Amino acid sequence: MSRITIVGGGLVGSLLAIFLAKRGHKVNVYERRGDPRRTDVYAGRSINLVVSHRGWTALRAAGVEEAVKAITVPVHARMMHDREGNLNRVPYSIDNRAIHSVSRGELNRRLLTEAEKLPNVKVHFDHRCVDVDLQTATCHFQREEGDHVVVEADVVFGSDGAFSAVRSKMMLGRFSYSQEYIEHDYKEVAFPANPDGTPKMDPQCLHIWPRRWFMMMGLANQDGGFTGTLFMPHAATKDSPGFDTVRTEAEVTAFFKAHFADAMPIVPDIVDQYLRNPQSNLVIIRCAPWQVNGKVALIGDAAHAIVPFYGEGMNAGYEDCKVLNDLLDAHGDDNWAEVMHRYASVRKPNGDAIADLSMRNFVEMRDLVADPQFLLRRKIEGHLQARHPDKWLPLYSQVKFTDIAYKDAWEEGLRHDRIMEEVMRLPGIEEKWESAEVEKKALGLLG
């Protein structure tokens, strides 16, 4: 049994606590903010996330799948809204598989409750980590009231998010780090339900308004409403408006009328919300190594902050927890040096791969989903998958519906790109996309 300190009781820290406590370790979680079940740390905002296959694999392994499933809404397809309000529904998979929408606050509350059911987990709110001794696994916490708490442990996990204090300490040593802000920021807008609580749009779809340089998406909540997120450059470019040019009431009204007219009757106060709600930015963080001395390791966003366009940030963090748990099974619970070393070597390339995959999906969601050539390619890939499920699994399915390592999915996806480029060049592809000739060409190139 080890004494374990987890810094950060967010989405990943709370699941990690469950995994480690169920192995018999003594787990203390220290969270900077107050208890989200008692205070509204999410500021009344109903932000939601998508849980997908890898997330479920980890939640199941931790024994909390059912507790989480109860608070999710299944999502089976993308629903594209064009400028004229025409809809086009594109299923995520040929076999009607779903990803699941869940409220971030609700998920965090549920996992904290599940963690606290275990007698060997204690969650300490209002404890901000200010220092970590990487040699001794001793953490220092500052409390609101001013007292300073020092905690000794055998190992420390930094699950304290993109701006991790644990990682800051690691950066003082031999540590590589990169931080990239993308040009797009985002703002959230709440889509209300009908007065009787029914949804105003199909809740089983992720709604997307792709506008080439910017986009809006909407994801269902359990209360019949949706969380809408507008992604747009923070500064206008020659091609696109930006948050800096859509500022006044008149500008915002004109912007929504021009680009998202069909959303205006659904969200009557969309302009007020835009003017009122905060604008947030998006950062990609890569770093290495993820562990020091078999004593301190990073997990979740602290190790790999990515853009949200594949909806995989949390799922990747949950997969980190599952991989760590498997390594403890394989190497024993008293062999932290070996386990942490292997954890960091296995997960780091996958963290980099999902960062790249997420930027790629941004381009797809923002402009390609409205491109007929892209939609045709999707149809051909779906056809190949239906006919040869053992040979052709589209990249999106590999990422969202399997446990295939992100880095392997990424490499296979690049191979599919090369093959599909040739397939799409076949004369008359628009007419013969379902033909034996196209199938033979694609499979021949696959080798």
Ligand X SMILES: Cc1cc2nc3c(=O)[nH]c(=O)nc-3n(C[C@H](O)[C@H](O)[C@H](O)COP(=O)(O)OP(=O)(O)OC[C@H]3O[C@@H](n4cnc5c(N)ncnc54)[C@H](O)[C@@H]3O)c2cc1C
Using CB under 6 A as the binding rule, whether residue 106 contacts ligand X is answered as no
Chosen residue from 4, 5, 6, 11 binding ligand X by CB under 6 A: 11
Q: Which is nearer to ligand X, 321 or 328 (CB)?
A: 321
Cβ atoms 6, 13 nearer than 8 A: yes
Question: To 5 degrees, how large is the angle CA 112–CA 116–CA 118?
Answer: 130
Q: Give the DSSP letter of residue 309.
A: G
Q: Give the DSSP letter of residue 5.
A: E
CA distance 136 to 154: 8
Whose CB is nearest to ligand X?
A: 10
Tell me the window of 7-15, 60-68, 199-207, 437-445 that interacts with ligand X (CB under 6 A): 7-15
Chosen residue from 301, 319, 381, 439 binding ligand X by CB under 6 A: 301
CA distance 108 to 16: 12
Residue among 29, 111, 118 at smallest CA distance from 69: 111
Using CB under 6 A as the binding rule, whether residue 378 contacts ligand X is answered as no
**First vs last C-alpha separation in the chain:** 50
Chosen residue from 56, 92, 125, 186 binding ligand X by CB under 6 A: 186
Tell me the window of 29-37, 87-95, 169-177, 382-390 that interacts with ligand X (CB under 6 A): 29-37
Taking the complex as a whole, the smallest distance from the CB of residue 435 to ligand X amounts, in Å, to 37
For the stretch 87-124, what's the b/e string if a residue is b when 16 or more beta carbons lie within 10 angstroms of its beta carbon? eeebebbeeeebbbbbbbbbbbbbbbebbbeeebbebb
For the stretch 72-85, what's the b/e string if a residue is b when 16 or more beta carbons lie within 10 angstroms of its beta carbon? bbebbbbbbbeeee
Chosen residue from 218, 233, 241, 308 binding ligand X by CB under 6 A: 308
Using CB under 6 A as the binding rule, whether residue 185 contacts ligand X is answered as no
Tell me the window of 72-80, 306-314, 326-334, 359-367 that interacts with ligand X (CB under 6 A): 306-314
- Block residue for tokens 């018999």: 24
Residue length, the chain?
A: 447
Taking the complex as a whole, the smallest distance from the CB of residue 68 to ligand X amounts, in Å, to 13
Chosen residue from 114, 185, 312, 319 binding ligand X by CB under 6 A: 312
Using CB under 6 A as the binding rule, whether residue 32 contacts ligand X is answered as yes
Chosen residue from 6, 314, 323, 393 binding ligand X by CB under 6 A: 314
Using CB under 6 A as the binding rule, whether residue 224 contacts ligand X is answered as no
Interface residues with ligand X (CB under 6 A)? Answer: 7-13, 30-33, 49-50, 128-129, 159-161, 165, 186, 229, 300-302, 308, 311-315, 317
